[in-house]
Structure formats: C-alpha cells, structure tokens
Chain A
Amino acid sequence: MTEEVKLTEQESFKIITEMIEKARNSSTGNGIGPLVWGILITFCSLETYAQIEFNFDLSFDVWWLALIALLPQIFYAWRNKKQRNFRSHDEVVLNYVWVTFAICMFLLSHYASQFPTNHYISLAMILYGVPTFITGAIKKFTPMLVGGIICWVCSIISCHTSIKISMLLSAVSAISAWLIPGIILRRKYLGLKHV
C-alpha cells in the first residue's frame, strides 16, 4: 500500500470496509477450545450413560478427564496469547466470562460432592449455556447462541428424566454448544488461513 494516492470517496469506503473485514477475520478463533471441550464433555456424558445402561464401572471417575484437559488448554491459550500481535475489544470481556464459568463449574462440583444430587447435570447444563450464549451474542455467532439455548432446554427436560437420559441430554448440549460451533470455527479458520 502506497501513501500518495488520490482517493475517491468510493475508494475510501472500500479501504475502510476491507480493513474492518481483515481485522474481524483475524479475531476469528481457531476453534480448538470449543472442539476439545465438545469432544470431552460428549465423551464423558456418553461414557456415564453407557456405565448406567450396561452396568459396568471404571476404576476412575471419567469426569476427571475434563479437569486434566484443562491444563493443555490453559497452556495453549497462554501460548496463543503470546504469539498474537493484536488485542480485540471483546477478548478481555470473553476471557472473564469463561474464567467465571470455570470457577462456577468448580464450585458446582464442590457443592455436588458435599450434597450429592441426581440433578447435578441439570445445574451443569444451565452453566454450560451461560458463556456459550454470551460468546455467541458478542461474536455475533449464531451457532453458539443456538447452542446456549439448547443447553437450557436440555436442562429443563433433564429435571423430568432419569440420570441416564440426562447424560444423553448432556451429550446433546455439548455437541450443540461446543462441538458443532467448534467444527464451524475450525473450518472457517483453516479457510481464511489458505486465502
């Protein structure tokens, strides 16, 4: 891009639109975070469903995988942040939203360990919906908005079902809130990378 070029009004508008579009595309996430969480929560939910349905028991609680998977996620997010050469307006807000979600999930797990309840997963799905819906609204990303709403609908239904069916609903929530949006984001990211 050179400096001393006489601009027409149309050219000015074209530059503005092009640059805003470039900045917006740079803010598109790579989809790794939602993909990993989507796969993990879906797997944990289906595994728990299978345990109840086929009456077997693992020697460990499969939901611990979710906590273990947090470590590489944190490392990946930290490395990604270090490598990025810009900061978007909504990044700071969304970071706080997801940290709040992680803290609330931890507190909910603690609560459930103190006061065991069969409806733990209904409460968890309410929480799944919160950061997902906010992210979808801020990023204007409809799949996450819809995903958040599906989490809440599944939560309502799960109040009236057995724990076994609730686990299936939990898998549906994870697929809609994270797995599908993650796949869409990943494809978009890879598509932009090749442009």
Chain B
Amino acid sequence: MFKELDPILHSQLRLAVMSLLISVKEAEFTFIKEKTNATAGNLSVQVQKLKEAGYIEVAKQFKDNYPLTTCMITKKGVAAFEAYVQALKEYLQVGNNRVS
C-alpha cells in the first residue's frame, strides 16, 4: 500500500518553495520569487497555504522603510518534506520495477 502524497506539497510552486526553504536557514520573499520565477500574487497565495498548514513561518517587518517578508521552514515542514520525498522514492521504485 502506497503512502498518499501530501496534497499540500504535491503542487509545483509549493514544492519549489519548500525545496528552497529546506536548503537555507531563512529566505526573503524576493529570493523565493527570483528562484521560482513565480508572480508575486501567486507566490503570496501559496506561501499563505504553506503557513496555514504549519509548514513554514512567515515574519513581516520593515527594512529601510520597505516591507520585508521572511520565510523559514518549521519542524513540521521538515518532517512533511522528508515524508513526501520518501513516498516519492517508493512510487519511483515501483515504477522502475515494473519497467524492468
């Protein structure tokens, strides 16, 4: 029986955001936008969904009079990401066995 892939993570942009955040300690919104090539509006919506799931923390502050949004992955987010990668591996393993 396969583990179901986490629907929060099984989406192109949210998965990209989580993959970036797992690689760094924290990242500003502009960094994530630049690396994912997403629009600000779409990215905001997906970041909000990840935040509501408890996978990331979002801090809003001001820097040189400009709003600054910083994102950081949570422990729950790390666990969910690891479980997602594990489930993916199982799917791919079965796919490879079928081919061979």
Contact = CB atoms under 8 A, between A and B. Distances in A.
A87 B34 CA distance: 15
Interface string A49-86: 00000000000000000000000000000000000011
A86 B26 contact: yes
A87 B26 contact: yes
B24 A23 contact: yes
Interface in B1-54: 5, 10-16, 19-20, 22-28, 30-31, 34-38, 42, 45-46
Nearest to B34: A85
A16 interface: yes
Interface string A97-124: 0000000000000000000000000000
Given A86-B28, A86-B31, A87-B24, A3 B13 contact: yes
Contacts of A162: none
A16 B28 contact: no
Interface stretch (A7-15, A143-151, A167-175, A177-185): A7-15
Interface string B54-95: 000000000000000000000000000000110010011001
B54 to A, nearest CB: 20
A11 B22 CA distance: 18
Contacts of B85: 16
A92 interface: yes
Contacts, number: 91
A13 B28 contact: no
Interface string A1-40: 1111101011111011011101110110000000000000
Contacts of B5: 12
A34 to B, nearest CB: 22
B25 A89 contact: yes
Given A7-B12, A12-B10, A12-B15, A88 B37 contact: no
B75 to A, nearest CB: 14
A10 B12 CA distance: 12
Contacts of A23: 19-20, 23-24, 35
A26 B31 CA distance: 10
Contacts of A2: 12-13, 38, 42
16 contacts: A1-B12, A1-B36, A1-B38, A5-B11, A7-B12, A9-B92, A12-B10, A12-B84, A19-B35, A20-B20, A23-B23, A23-B24, A87-B24, A87-B26, A88-B23, A88-B25
Task: In the A-B complex, list the 10 residue pairs whose CB atoms are closest, starting with the nearest.
Answer: A23-B23, A19-B19, A85-B28, A86-B27, A85-B31, A87-B25, A86-B31, A1-B38, A9-B91, A16-B19
Interface of A: 1-5, 7, 9-13, 15-16, 18-20, 22-24, 26-27, 85-89, 91-92
